[in-house]
Amino acid sequence: MKILHVIQGLSIGGAEKLLVDTLPKYNEIYETHLIILKQPDENNIYYNLLRDKVTIHISPHKNIKSFKNIIYIRKILKREKFDIVHTHLLLDRYFTFFSTIMMIHKPKLVTTVHSIVNPEKEKKLSSFIYKRYNKIIAISEATRNSILKYASVKPEKTVTIYNGIDMKRFNPGKDRDKIKKELGIVGEIVLLMVGRFSEVKDQNTVIKALKLLPNKYKLVLVGDGELKDKSEGLAKKLNLEKRVYFLGLRSDIPEITKSSDIIIVSSKSEGFGLVAVEGMASKKPVIGTNVPGLDEVIQLNEMLFTVENYKELATLILSLEDGDLYEEISNKMFKLSEKFKIETMVNKHIKLYEKVIREKK
């Protein structure tokens, strides 16, 4: 079996991070390639981690929305003759489908839906595209339910496979003080949020919560994005410049996570919540919003708060000053994280590919 994954680009995000972690593992079992529609720059963390581990094809077209990408994908498909093509995001899902029209030897198509389906965005064309895929993978039951509700897809065409992480990289027994030593805040309490600066991730709610906390609490924000400047402006407006650390893009997320004290996911919508699992695997309390998908991961209602409610978030953070409660929550979350091993995810994907190959067209 020969497998191809296609993705729009390798910006910082959950889908992209999963490819970095899983493609080398797929490649150990079956030959695996990757098509990227957007040219990565030389400092792209994910590209540099992948470039020597799998065969990568990069579209020569500068405009990621150019229909010429359909021709490019078709060219690679005809030359390499893949058995399975697995897409991940909107553009690569569309372009890959259209590239296979009228092909004599069509590969089987699989796509992963990485977020809750938005009924306003899922127009008739999206439903049409979903129906042409052989299998649709949802990363949570909440995601699968949204697909069934809004995208007019038959239940038997969908399957839920939870995302996974490399548990060894988040071993809680190592690198406990890395980020505190780097920032010169040893002895302080570090709150960590990792994610793209966007409306849906909502870092500003965490910044507002920090204003209600004692000075010993510091906030580390990892990531980049269109709203980073606004978040920096909010921190300055609230006189929190010396308590909020904007680290930008980093390749040492496991070490940063293990050396933080509390992990926060304040998303307004979250299909799964990979960073939540990473925090849980590091044996740290994770506080998240009570939204479908993320609540399947965290599972402990006492660690969930209402979207945008920074006062509620601050109260939850302060509750963890109780050492016994902190330890209890940390242990519970560590046990929960064990169901999200990357090996489990990869094995389920491989079995799904093999099943799809056996099915009649």
Q: Which single residue is written with the structure tokens 């307004």?
A: 268
Instruction: Return d(Cα 337, Cα 247) in angstroms, integer.
Output: 26
What is the rounded CA–CA span in Å between residue 201 and residue 193? 10
The pTM assigned to this predicted structure is 0.89
Closest CA to 25 of 354, 274, 345, 353: 345
Q: Read off the pLDDT of residues 179-207 as tens digits, 9 standing for 90 and up.
A: 999 999 999 999 999 999 999 999 999 99
Place of tokens 């030959």: 31
DSSP state of 215: T
pLDDT value of position 115: 86
Sequence-ordered alpha helix ranges (H) in the chain: 14-29, 45-50, 68-80, 90-99, 124-131, 141-150, 178-183, 203-211, 228-237, 253-258, 274-281, 294-298, 310-319, 323-337, 342-358
Q: Find the length of the chain.
A: 361
Domain 167-339 in the same topology as domain 2-164+342-358: yes
Helix 323-337 to helix 274-281 angle, to the nearest 10 degrees? 120
Q: pLDDT tens for residues 212-241? A: 999 999 999 999 999 999 999 999 999 999
Give backbone dihedrals phi and psi of 142, rounded to 5 degrees, phi first: -65, -40
Which residues touch 170 (CB under 8 Å, ≥6 apart)?
Answer: 254, 257, 258, 278, 281, 282
Q: Collapse the DSSP code of 114 into the 3-class scheme (helix H, G, I; strand E, B; otherwise coil) and give the result.
A: coil
In the chain, domain spans: 2-164+342-358, 167-339
Q: What is the pLDDT of residues 287-321, one digit of tens each?
A: 999 999 999 999 999 999 999 999 999 999 999 99
Average pLDDT of the chain, as a whole number: 93
CATH superfamily of 167-339: Glycogen Phosphorylase B; (3.40.50.2000)
Q: What's the pLDDT score for residue 149? A: 85
Cα 28 to Cα 44: distance, rounded to the nearest angstrom: 24
173 pLDDT tier (thresholds 50, 70, 90): confident
User: Do 37 and 91 contact (CB within 8 A), yes or no?
Assistant: yes
Burial of 105 (0-12, 13-18, 19+ CB in 10 A): exposed
- CATH 3.30.365.10 at 2-164+342-358, yes or no: no
Judged against a pLDDT cut of 60, whether residue 322 lies above it is answered with yes
Give the pLDDT of residue 66: 95
Residue 284 has pLDDT above 80, yes or no: yes
Q: How do residues 21-63 score in pLDDT, each as one tens digit?
A: 999 999 999 999 999 999 998 888 899 999 999 999 999 999 9
What share of the chain in percent tops pLDDT 70? Answer: 97
User: What does the alpha-carbon distance between residue 20 and residue 48 come to, in Å, rounded to a whole number?
Assistant: 10
Per-residue pLDDT, 195: 92
Distance CA 260, CA 257 (A): 5
